Amino acid sequence: MADTKALRGVCGTTRRHPVSLCLLAVYWVILPYVSAMALSYSFLASASLRRVLVELRERAALVSGRLYYFVCENDADKRRNGMTMVWIPAGTFVQGSPADEPNRWDDETQRQVTLSGGFYMGIYQVTQGQYRSLMGRDGRLDAIYAGNDFGRGDDYPIYNISWYDALVFCNKLSMAEGLAPAYRVCGSVNPFDWGSAPPRHNDAIWDAVATVPESNGYRLPTEAQWEYACRAGTSKAFNWDTDQITSSQANFDAANKLYNDSPAGEYRAKAAPAGSFPSNAWGLYDMHGNVWEWCWDWYGAYADGPQADPAGSVPGPGRVLRGGSWISSGQGLRSARRGYFFPWGESCYTGFRLLRP
């Protein structure tokens, strides 16, 4: 069983200490603004000076996050965009599906994988309320409320999220909590410098994103971390260690797309509030169904032989998705089932879950 220790994030009650609030204003508003304005003037032609200003802005963003955390009450009941996470221990498991698993796909070749370090994983998919608290009411939430109702409300998982959007969320949340951001794009860890996420095409600059060594910030799980956490020590098609699934266990099309003679059930035709179904043995909810979850890796064939801490293929046709969704068949929810999508792609059944080292 996983350790029950949990991480709590940024909270909502401010201690109104005037000195703290003044420092927060300097570091969070004035310093980043001044450095950004200075960078916009062409007479600052010195490359070394520009690098200093960029670094100053990054440092200001990180310090502001630490100050914000300092002036907030650590009250879990009033947390805003904080994530509740559970510790997943290091270990070795068999990734992929056995040859006799019903309706398996050819890309699920089994291999032994060792994860040398434990990690924290969000017990829920990131919710619309958590997304709005950090990002505000942006185009992603507008799309959710403007179109058909595929699950709306603070407790529902966020969707209409691209892989690029997920990177921005990860780094912004890390900065808000005073953590070292996990991702660097075009030399910067501050999403302010990245510009808008590419809307309808792959972008070479964003696709060259690198993970920052020794970062302790939020990130997407690798595909191996995701499957290891999903299985929680099990080896069957689903993480309750059976080869059948019902609509009382997960949110999927259990009325029309059954798996392996599982009994027919309900098709809800939209996402359900996070945590509506039983968790796995490690306390993680909705690892099967509700919305697909982005992973870090490019999709590609698994490398042969035992692997240690694999982080995916060379660039492939898309970034990996795991877990299946409310519109999926039971087959699509299996622990070993692999999907992928363009990193700029977004849909009403694609969201994400966070991890921290």
| 237 is a domain residue | yes
What pLDDT is recorded for position 306? Answer: 97
CA distances from 210 to 188, 215, 219, 278 (A): 10, 11, 12, 35
273 in any annotated domain: yes
Mean pLDDT, each 10-residue run in order, the chain (357 residues):
40 35 45 43 45 47 38 32 88 98 97 98 97 90 90 96 97 97 97 92 94 96 98 98 97 96 97 98 98 98 96 90 98 98 96 98
Q: Which of 185, 110, 169 is nearest to 335 (CA)?
A: 110
Q: What confidence score (pLDDT) does residue 294 get?
A: 98
Contacts of 46 (CB under 8 A, 6+ apart): none
Q: What is the pLDDT of residue 138?
A: 84
Q: Tell me what pLDDT residue 143 has.
A: 86
Distance CA 295, CA 64 (A): 29
Assess if residue 330 is contained within a domain.
yes
Number of structural domains the chain divides into: 1
**Beta bridge partner(s), residue 94:** 112
Q: Is 43 domain-assigned?
A: no
Report the run of H or E that residue 295 belongs to, with start and end. strand 292-298
Question: Is there a contact between 235 and 241 (Cβ–Cβ < 8 Å)?
Answer: yes
Helix and strand numbers, DSSP H then E, in the chain: 8, 12
Is residue 21 in some structural domain?
no
Task: Look up the CATH number of the domain holding residue 319.
Answer: 3.90.1580.10
* Structural contact between residues 280 and 250, judged by C-beta atoms closer than 8 angstroms: no
Q: What is the pLDDT of residue 85?
A: 97
Alpha-carbon span 213 to 219, nearest angstrom? 12
pLDDT of residue 78: 28
pLDDT at 82: 66
pLDDT of residue 49: 54
Q: What pLDDT was estimated at residue 267?
A: 98
Range of the domain at 253: 1-8+86-162+211-357
| Gyration radius from the chain CA atoms | 21
- So what's the pLDDT on residue 220? 98
Both tokens of residue 131?
């997304």
Question: Does residue 62 form part of some domain?
Answer: no
Return the pLDDT at 200: 83
170 in a domain, yes or no? no
Domain-embedded: residue 138: yes
